[in-house]
Amino acid sequence: MNKDYSEHVSALFSWYDANRRDLPWRSDRDPYKSWISEVMLQQTRVSTVIPYFNRFVQTYPDIPTLAVANPDSVYKSWEGLGYYSRARNLIAGSRYIVENHGGVFPRRKNEILCIPGIGPYIAAAILSMAFGDPEPSVDGNLIRVISRLHALSGPADSGVTRKHITSLAREMISDKRPGDFNEAMMDVGATICTPKSPSCETCPFQSLCLAARDGNWERYPGPKKSSSVPSVSLTICAVILDGRVLIRKRPETGLLAGLYEFFSFPGHLSEAEALRAVFSSITLSNKTTALVEALPKAQHRFSHLIWDMQGYRVVLEKNRTGAPVCFSLSDADAETGCFHTPVDARKLAFPTALRVYTEAVLGLKHDVKE
């Protein structure tokens, strides 16, 4: 630890020892649990993660168990957390550890960074918390707190800022309690030095913080470089035949890979256009009519993309003779598309992006908010 920051660190630990949050992944220093918790905590609130974490480590208590798990079951246990690529990477990572390290989490930084889905932030969290290495976990919280401590106005998302903050955090981190240092800084960033309303009066750094001294915390860090996220319009069609819902599986690579969804079409389609699109995807054995009902509009923001959605429930009706309706799907959907009863469909893993539609059509309830 750099001598210059001993006062900061001792103030931080005095506060942390009295106020630390009692979180399930802090009960022991198992690298597997640190890994799972850090992956779940990315872009997701602590209160949301706690029940998911408890269920996950109960179902998949160790790396070998996760490595042989059915991916669909893992995705189902992830449902509601969003960002499914994280679950996919956990499976890939556990398989990698089994193949390359006999199922035991590796100890060295260069080995940890080779695990699929693990970047510098998670590697530092695991190294400090599970193995006691003085590696700072540099995320948005840490960047905000250190920027304010030192009145640094560089943009939070610039590489130069990150490098500078990392080097300051390296000087600051405690050699004796590196895991506690990272967790304490996370707690300060999440609960006290928040982006819009920091509580400087309760902050352990109050007397040491340049931003607090000048009363201008809002200037630090500087605004992010603007980045516009493209928006894609989609029409979601929940097609229903004999009480069963048409669902397909997304491709195994790319956005929301391997998850289930209703049929959807590009653009915001009128009822007539949506119906034409549905009938171009499904060939029915005999003439069928359809009832179309509008579903709510919804938006979902991914890190790089926004889905701007509208939807319809399309109920196909039997022909006048009452003869059963047989169907076939277009080539693109023939392999993965299938009509499911709502009970069966509720067992499939749908992306959070479709929450509005899975709730409206399948009655699928999400017990948490992102």
The span from the CA of 67 to the CA of 128, in Å, is 24
Nearest in space to 278 (alpha carbons), one of 260, 296, 263: 263
Choosing from 38, 79, 183, 261, which is the catalytic residue? 38
- Minimum distance, C-beta of residue 121 to ligand SF4, in the bound complex (Å): 20
Q: Which residue has the tokens 């509720």?
A: 346
Nearest in space to 290 (alpha carbons), one of 278, 299, 300: 278
Q: What is the DSSP letter of 189?
A: I
Q: Is 38 a catalytic residue?
A: yes
Q: Compare residues 150 and 300 and give the one whose CB is closer to ligand SF4.
A: 150
Residue-wise DSSP of 182-221:
HHHHHHIIIIIS-SS---GGG-TTGGG-HHHHHT-GGGSS
Q: What is the DSSP letter of 321?
A: T
Residues that bind ligand SF4 (CB under 6 A): 145, 148-149, 192-193, 198, 200, 203, 205-206, 209, 211-212, 217
Task: Collapse the DSSP code of 161 into the 3-class scheme (helix H, G, I; strand E, B; otherwise coil) and give the result.
Answer: helix
- Minimum distance, C-beta of residue 200 to ligand SF4, in the bound complex (Å): 3
The pair of structure tokens assigned to 119 is 């970047």
The span from the CA of 275 to the CA of 75, in Å, is 31
Q: Compare residues 145 and 329 and give the one whose CB is closer to ligand SF4.
A: 145
Count other Cβ atoms within 10 Å, centred on residue 238.
24
Q: Compare residues 192 and 240 and give the one whose CB is closer to ligand SF4.
A: 192
Q: Compare residues 138 and 203 and give the one whose CB is closer to ligand SF4.
A: 203
- Minimum distance, C-beta of residue 22 to ligand SF4, in the bound complex (Å): 22
Residues labelled as active-site residues: 38
